[in-house]
């Protein structure tokens, strides 16, 4: 398994973890920004992170049947972990603002499901996937992600296995620390297009 230092090095080298002054989709400001799509766009680096995370998952969750990921960010991570762990992998998609199973994907009654994301911050997407698991009378074994930056504030009660846990402070515009006040803020991310 990769150490925290090795994992952070890969995340920084692939621009999945960048530093500067960012306005997040929440409107809060931060000195760091996480974009796992950058990591996943470099398969020769991403595989190292995914194999390490897969080992953690094997150690923690001995028995599960299916990986469920939320679109968009979790699809590639879920697929890679499914390939490594030899598990079926499906994903949910938003239809009129709500996660649904499409493409004839099914969660069969009584199976054990692992929810996989790229990054867990608020846990909103993961919790919406959990509702799909419950609605199909299946069982959740837990959650996994490359980066857990929730600091226990996600609302997820089940265990979260991550490759990296990050505590990234966020600030309101009127309470910026001095080091951010003089750096021009940018709005990265998929929700800010």
Q: Along the 193 residues of the chain, how does pLDDT read in single tens digits?
A: 899 999 999 999 999 999 999 998 778 899 999 989 999 999 999 999 999 999 999 999 989 999 999 988 899 999 999 999 999 999 999 888 888 889 999 999 999 999 999 998 888 889 989 999 999 999 999 999 999 988 877 778 888 999 999 998 888 988 899 889 888 888 886 554 4
Give the pLDDT of residue 193: 44
> Domain map of the chain by residue range?
4-192
Residue 150: other Cβ atoms inside 10 A = 22
Give the pLDDT of residue 154: 78
Give the pLDDT of residue 101: 87
Q: Please state the length of the chain.
A: 193
Residue 165: is it exposed, middle or buried by C-beta count within 10 angstroms (0-12/13-18/19+)? middle
Multiple choice CATH, 4-192, 3.40.50.2020, 3.30.460.20, 3.40.50.2000, 3.30.1330.20:
3.40.50.2020
Distance CA 152, CA 32 (A): 19
Q: Which residues pair with 23 in a beta bridge?
A: 29
Tell me the whole-structure pTM to 2 decimals. Answer: 0.88
Residue 44, C-beta contacts closer than 8 angstroms, at least 6 positions apart: none
């Amino acid at each position: 398994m990769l150490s925290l230092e090795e994992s952070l090095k890969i995340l920084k080298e692939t621009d999945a973890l960048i530093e500067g002054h960012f306005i997040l989709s929440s409107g809060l400001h931060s000195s760091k920004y996480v974009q796992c799509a950058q990591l996943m766009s470099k398969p020769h680096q991403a595989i190292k992170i995914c194999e390490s995370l897969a080992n953690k998952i094997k150690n923690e969750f001995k028995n599960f049947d299916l990986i469920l990921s939320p679109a968009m960010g979790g699809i590639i991570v879920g697929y890679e972990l499914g390939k490594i762990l030899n598990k079926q992998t499906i994903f949910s998609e938003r239809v009129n603002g709500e996660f649904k199973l499409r493409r004839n994907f099914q969660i069969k009654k009584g199976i054990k499901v692992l929810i996989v994301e790229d990054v867990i911050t608020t846990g909103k997407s993961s919790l919406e996937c959990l509702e799909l698991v419950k609605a199909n009378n299946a069982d959740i074994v837990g959650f996994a992600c490359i980066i857990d930056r929730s600091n226990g504030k996600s609302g997820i009660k089940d265990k979260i296995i991550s490759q990296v846990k990050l505590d990234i402070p966020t600030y309101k515009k009127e309470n910026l620390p001095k080091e951010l006040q003089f750096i021009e803020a940018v709005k990265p991310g998929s929700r800010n297009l």
